[in-house]
Structure 1
Amino acid sequence: MTIVTSVVQLEKQHLAQIAKQVQKLTGARNVRIKTTIDDSLVAGFTIRYGNAQLKLINMSVQKSEST
């Protein structure tokens, strides 16, 4: 299972492109994607894949903590 986390729901064509790239990275025939929403992101997305989703591709911008 591949978990894609973003600030908004991604469109189907974007998820298909992500699945295609994960297939290239892993050599898997089928990639199942689960989507989650994370309000702490400003833009972009993260992709967790591999055994127990231990591999991470981070293409996100997160809100910074004010001090």
Structure 2
Amino acid sequence: MRTYARLLIKAIKSGDKTEALTVFSKLASKLDRAAKTKLIHKKNADRKKSRMALRINSIETKAA
């Protein structure tokens, strides 16, 4: 989970939206799986996904 989060932040900082979206889908899957097995709370996983999605969307607004 943390590995994909780090990769996503790295992609966001570099401004590579396609890479960020690819890593985000993997991160979302890992977070959902962790929530399903009760490793983390479901709302915690949802919050992390939401915040990362906001960061990805900010790439587009900066480029425009």
Q: TM-score, normalised by structure 2?
A: 0.35
Q: TM-score, normalised by structure 1?
A: 0.34
Higher strand proportion: 1
The structure that has the greater radius of gyration is 1
Highest relative contact order (Cα 8 Å, sep 6+), 1 or 2? 1
